[in-house]
Amino acid sequence: MKALRDIWQYRRLLHDLVVQDFRSRYAGSVVGVFWNVLQPAAQVLIFAVILAKIMGSRLPDSLQMAQIDDPYALSIYICAGLLPWIVLSETIARTSTSFIAHSNLIKKVAFPHVLLVMYQVISGAITLLLMLALFIIVMVATGHMLGWSIVWVPLLVLVQALFTYGVGLFLATITAHFRDMPQIVGIFLQVWFWVTPIVYPRDLMNTIMPWGLGPVLLRINPLYHLTNMYQNVLFKQVVQFDFMPNTLVPASDQFLLKLLVFSGITVLVVLGSNVFYEKLRGELPDQL
């Protein structure tokens, strides 16, 4: 694929763009790059505290895997799915305006435009890895030892990054031709978040969705499968729930099947977005 060859050929430029992104976003800040972690951590804390007050510190009955009084269970469950979502939604919002934000560069310099999307995706993936590393430290500090399934986390981050790249490239190409797209994307991301059971049990989908649409939306929602895989790997593999297979693959949750399906969707999204971009690439400088 031409996009992959371009990314490899210009890998040094891509590296410089990622480094510059981290520097420019927090230039002059005392805390610096750690704002990448502190801002999502504050959001997670708010969700965890509010929902703990509403739902209680214990998990809902539909999520209980044992009668264990664990005051951290709900927060861990929420964080395991919410952290990937925060990074994904922020990266999609940023990449959707990649071509417009760098219009002067596109008009003056000949280089693969996909790098403008890719460097933001890589920046987001690095941020997610930092956040998950701190999250794992907190889990261990609160007595939640991890199982072997933790080795799947880097692969999940990689697949998420590729999915985000595909969506971001598609939206960036559309936005160059239709300037209202960022506002539409913002609304869509809000709706997408609340129809994805991350901060509430998935059984509620059957209650809040009319005409029996809850199970249907769960099956066709790729973000539900992605966040659920993070929750399977991180949350369900703690010592307190070790009556489940605390092994490399949580087979009872069809982890490998979900990973295969989401990876297939990711491949289709990346290929489709690149075909779409290639068809409109020649018009890009004029549209900007």
Which residue shows structure tokens 């539409």? 184
Question: Is 21 a domain residue?
Answer: no
Question: Is 28 a domain residue?
Answer: no
Question: Is 14 a domain residue?
Answer: no
DSSP 60: P
* Percentage of the residues of the chain whose pLDDT score is greater than 90: 24
Range of the domain at 242: 2-7+35-287
Largest Cα span, the chain: 63
Question: Is 25 a domain residue?
Answer: no
Q: What is the mean pLDDT of residues 26-48?
A: 62
Question: Is 16 a domain residue?
Answer: no
Higher-pLDDT residue of 68 and 276 is 276
Cα dihedral sign, 96-100-102-105? positive
Q: Tens of pLDDT along 40-54?
A: 667 666 665 665 556
Burial 144-163 (b: 16+ CB within 10 A, else e): bebbebeebbeebbebbbbb
Number of domains in the chain: 1
DSSP 214: H
Q: Tens of pLDDT along 1-15?
A: 666 777 777 788 888
Question: Is 232 a domain residue?
Answer: yes
Q: What is the pTM of this model?
A: 0.84
Cα dihedral sign, 76-77-81-86? negative
Question: Is 164 a domain residue?
Answer: yes
Question: Is 69 a domain residue?
Answer: yes
- Whether pLDDT at 222 is above 70: yes
Question: Do 251 and 222 form a contact (C-beta atoms < 8 A)?
Answer: no
In angstroms, the CA 114 to CA 269 distance is 15
Q: Tens of pLDDT along 223-237?
A: 988 998 898 888 765
Task: Kindly state the tokens that stand for 6.
Answer: 């371009």
Q: Tens of pLDDT along 196-206?
A: 888 777 777 76
pLDDT at 70: 64
Q: What is the mean pLDDT of residues 133-157?
A: 82
In angstroms, the CA 121 to CA 265 distance is 18
